[in-house]
């Protein structure tokens, strides 16, 4: 028999529930009782929340606190927004704030591209969770979980105007839309919390895959009905031919630098049992010349995911750089490939743009 949850509701106001500390009574019943004014003034609207072994009561009356299908997780003040975020624009856009931590910055004391990609992923997953659609998968809906389906990214482009520094607070908006007959597009906007200025934007395309057969799948009608109410037809990187055009395939003959022996670690895997899509950024940078990493900012990167990667596979990173200026180029372009070392099978193609750190 499952042990009763060691938590109880303490304060209930404005659709929020705060948890107190459970205590064991003489009869071994887990109980918590805590009261407040429910948000009213001068002690009015007094509300007492009591939970005994999972039974929840407000002012002595039983209350049903079970969540129904597609019931959003609501949050109230700014402190909650740092933890879960909130819906805006009629629940079509999900917004979340993050503080840039010391372990999320690079040698130049600014957030790394990997940090930004991780924040985008975190916001997307919390969007699904807070919408009430989450099943038992990694961002999968209930109907997807029933059918053993997962989302896999096929392409992502992120463009950065300014990198945040340690301690800065960023605000990320995300939303979804359809992409063709059997895909979904997810877009993001990153703003500086203090200035409200947009500092980065990203767009991505996703398809479904069966988590057991590892084969791509059409979107079932039941899943389409789940996500359709959340679709917002808004392109954050609209009409960008650089984003949509085909990425050139690198070979041993065309690559300027090759880094071999890259081994995925256990910590590089995600819950879908393959390398997380963010991890490829680090491997791409392994074959970029050190001078470029030191003197340039990575301002844009497009990743075209060709196949999934498991922990047992050794990888190679290939890079070719090209300049767009004269003598002392202020911007650079680069083409990349991550492939399996043994059979040279492609895993990720990428194209990037760089801006000299001293150039504005």
Q: Which residues are catalytic?
A: 272, 274, 309
Element containing residue 120 per DSSP (H, E): helix 113-131
Longest dimension (CA), the chain: 82
Strand partners of residue 179:
none
Tell me the C-alpha to C-alpha distance, in Å, between residue 255 and each of 55, 292, 338: 65, 16, 12
Q: How far apart are CA 314 and CA 12, in angstroms?
A: 53
Task: Check if the beta carbon of residue 9 is closer than 8 Å to that of residue 19.
Answer: yes
Which residues does 171 contact at the CB level (< 8 Å), separation at least 6?
Answer: 95, 96, 97, 190, 191, 192, 193
Q: How far apart are CA 125 and CA 84, in angstroms?
A: 10
SS3 162: coil
Strand partners of residue 156:
204, 303
Q: How far apart are CA 52 and CA 49, in angstroms?
A: 10
Tell me the C-alpha to C-alpha distance, in Å, between residue 185 and each of 159, 218, 279: 16, 15, 21
**What percent of the chain is helix, strand and coil (3-state, nearest 5)?**
20, 40, 40
Q: Is 44 left (phi over 0), alpha (psi -120 to 50) or beta?
A: beta
Which residues does 80 contact at the CB level (< 8 Å), separation at least 6?
Answer: 16, 86
Q: How far apart are CA 106 and CA 359, in angstroms?
A: 19
Q: Is 167 left (phi over 0), alpha (psi -120 to 50) or beta?
A: left
Helices (H) and strands (E) in the chain, counts: 7, 19
């Amino acid at each position: 028999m499952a042990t009763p949850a060691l938590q109880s509701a303490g304060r209930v106001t404005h659709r929020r529930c705060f948890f107190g500390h459970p205590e064991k009574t003489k009869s071994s019943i887990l109980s918590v009782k805590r009261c407040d004014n429910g948000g009213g003034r001068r002690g009015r609207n007094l509300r007492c929340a009591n939970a005994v072994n999972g039974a929840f009561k407000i002012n002595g009356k039983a209350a049903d606190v079970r969540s129904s299908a597609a019931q959003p997780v609501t949050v109230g003040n700014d402190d909650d927004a740092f933890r879960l975020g909130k819906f805006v624009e009629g629940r079509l856009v999900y917004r979340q704030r993050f503080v840039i931590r010391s372990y999320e910055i690079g040698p130049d004391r600014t957030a790394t591209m990997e940090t930004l990609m991780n924040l985008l992923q975190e916001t997307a997953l919390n969007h699904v969770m807070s919408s009430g659609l989450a099943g038992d998968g990694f961002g999968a809906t209930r109907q997807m979980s029933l059918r053993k389906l997962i989302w896999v990214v096929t392409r992502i482009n992120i463009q950065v105007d300014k990198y945040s520094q340690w301690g800065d607070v960023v605000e990320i908006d995300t939303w979804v839309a359809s992409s063709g007959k059997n895909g979904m597009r997810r877009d993001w906007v990153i703003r500086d919390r203090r200035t409200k200025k947009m500092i980065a934007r990203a767009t991505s395309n996703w398809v479904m895959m069966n988590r057991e057969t590892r084969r791509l799948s059409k979107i079932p009608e039941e899943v389409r009905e789940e996500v359709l109410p959340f679709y917002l037809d808004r392109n954050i990187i609209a009409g960008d031919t650089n984003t949509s055009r085909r990425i050139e395939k690198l070979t041993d003959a065309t690559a300027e630098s090759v880094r071999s022996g890259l081994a995925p670690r256990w910590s590089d895997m995600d819950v879908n049992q393959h390398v997380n899509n963010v991890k490829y950024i680090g491997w791409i940078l392994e074959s970029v010349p050190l001078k470029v990493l030191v003197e340039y900012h990575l301002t844009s990167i497009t990743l075209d995911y060709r196949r999934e990667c498991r922990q047992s596979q050794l990888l190679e990173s290939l890079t070719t750089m090209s300049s767009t200026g004269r003598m002392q180029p202020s911007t650079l372009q680069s083409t990349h490939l991550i492939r399996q070392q043994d059979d040279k099978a492609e895993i990720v193609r990428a194209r990037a743009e760089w801006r000299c750190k001293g150039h504005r």
